[in-house]
Chains A and B, each alone.
Chain A
């Protein structure tokens, strides 16, 4: 079974631009969540989608948004990029809604560098 696939692996953008990251979950998984990983703040939850509905959102500005499609694939968008948005963005998928009985499977991430 193929794992969680994130594209692209690396991105370099300029301040003020916007970016879209893509995540294809494991087949059959309906939940997709996104995390930001930085050396200073560690791993922080961005948002989670289940069957195209956002169920939970982390404490990030409105510049960060996401969506999920009917095939469970998800995208996240960051508008008006800032230097502090440079990070590894991780996507994770799961079969159902609760982490305790449906562990998260992570992709290898998209490394975003903002210059």
Chain B
């Protein structure tokens, strides 16, 4: 069965520092992977997705993620954190044959301090 593990339920960085949110997946077939962001009292917004076209995926708001098959990882990064990046981030994998069923990780809450 497919699964997603996000390492670190809370990450805190200084404004301007590198953001690194970790995601490891388990899948028996090439996966489709996603990062979503959730701001307080809102739904989820798609940041970026990996669909096998390129291993380095660029998303919105300056985020990017690199698919590493050998490490079964899809970590999310941003070179310079901004206060507005404070939110909860979810990594997800598309379920095989599950149409629009996504399997989500537990989430990582990112705090950005001045």
Binding site for B on A (CB under 8 A): 4, 31, 33, 42-45, 48, 50, 55-56, 58, 90, 92, 94, 97-109
A90/B34 in contact, CB under 8 A? no
A92-B104 contact given A99-B32, A101-B51, A109-B43, CB 8 Å threshold:
no
A110 to chain B, nearest CB (A): 10
Besides A43-B104, A90-B44, A105-B46, 16 other A-B contacts (C-beta < 8 A): A4-B43, A31-B100, A42-B107, A43-B90, A43-B107, A45-B103, A48-B100, A97-B100, A99-B32, A99-B100, A100-B32, A103-B49, A104-B44, A108-B42, A108-B43, A109-B43
Q: How many residues of B contact A (CB 8 A)?
A: 25
Q: How far is the CB of B112 from chain A (nearest CB, A)?
A: 22
Least CB distance from A30 to B in Å reads: 11
Decide if B99 touches A56 in the complex (CB within 8 Å).
yes
Is A94 a contact partner of B100 (Cβ separation < 8 A)?
yes
Bound form: Cα–Cα A109–B40 in Å: 11
